[in-house]
């Protein structure tokens, strides 16, 4: 009978062996060494229902005052129908798309132009340690100072522009989020920055089952 490993002395292997395809053990890499059933169920819920829950949350905020139970109750009692809810769903507007593109561009420029201390991230499985520019607080302060200056002095746009367009802006934010995630997956598959990272990811996501190999 195998001995049970002690929590204070996890069995580990070097990152080198794991990067070369060695078996993963507790405390091997990353932060989630032990995963409970609630975390697993939450992740599966997000993976399976991510596109639907995005629409559901936006619809609930727009039509039901952000109540997550009211739409279900109305559908169950017959006071609302799916066709009616869909017909009332606000679409992405040209103004919101332009505002969101301008906002993302401004934040990208703020990130590029502002210097700050550099911090090292956690070592990846290919033993690569990325460096990050820590300048988010500076960009946050500049953004709010410009917003305050516009509200009281410049009057270039309405201070309530986000509130006036917040449902279409939510659509834009989620569309960009899915687009970036899709691009990252395609990039990692076809032209990864480090091929070893993608090799290990395939081992984890698509492992061998018996004699069959399900690597993408």
Domain boundaries, the chain: 43-89, 91-120+130-195
For Cα atoms 133, 14, 28, give the angle at the middle one, nearest 5 degrees. 70
Q: pLDDT tens digits, the chain, 216 residues: what are they? A: 444 444 444 444 444 444 444 444 444 555 556 778 888 888 888 888 887 888 898 899 889 998 999 999 999 999 999 998 988 888 889 999 999 999 999 988 888 887 778 888 777 666 777 777 788 888 889 999 999 999 899 888 888 998 889 889 988 998 998 898 888 888 877 877 777 666 655 554 444 444 444 444
171 token code pair: 């659509």
140 token code pair: 């946050």
The answer to whether 71 and 80 have CB atoms below 8 angstroms apart is yes
Name the pTM for this structure.
0.65
Separation in Å, CA 184 to CA 72, 102, 177, 198, 206: 35, 22, 11, 11, 18
CA torsion through residues 32, 123, 181, 192, sign: negative
Separation in Å, CA 67 to CA 97, 108, 191: 26, 34, 43
């Amino acid at each position: 009978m195998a001995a049970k490993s002690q929590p204070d002395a996890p069995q580990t292997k070097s990152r080198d062996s794991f990067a070369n395809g060695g078996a993963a053990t507790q405390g091997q890499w990353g932060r989630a060494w032990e995963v409970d059933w609630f975390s697993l169920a939450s992740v599966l819920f997000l993976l399976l229902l991510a596109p639907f829950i995005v629409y559901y949350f936006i619809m609930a905020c727009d039509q039901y005052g952000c109540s997550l139970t009211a739409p279900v109750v109305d559908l169950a009692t017959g006071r609302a129908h799916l066709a009616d809810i869909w017909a009332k769903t606000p679409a992405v507007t040209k103004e919101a798309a332009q505002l969101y593109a301008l906002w993302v561009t401004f934040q990208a420029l703020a990130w590029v132009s502002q210097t700050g201390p550099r911090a090292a991230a956690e070592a990846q499985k290919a033993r690569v340690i990325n460096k990050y520019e820590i300048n988010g607080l500076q960009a946050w302060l500049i953004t709010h100072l410009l917003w305050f200056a516009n509200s009281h002095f410049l009057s270039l746009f309405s201070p309530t522009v986000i509130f006036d367009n917040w449902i279409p802006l939510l659509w834009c934010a989620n569309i960009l989020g899915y687009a970036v995630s899709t691009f990252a997956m395609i990039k990692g598959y076809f032209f990864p920055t480090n091929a070893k990272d993608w090799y290990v990811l395939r081992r984890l996501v698509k492992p061998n089952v018996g004699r069959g190999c399900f690597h993408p």
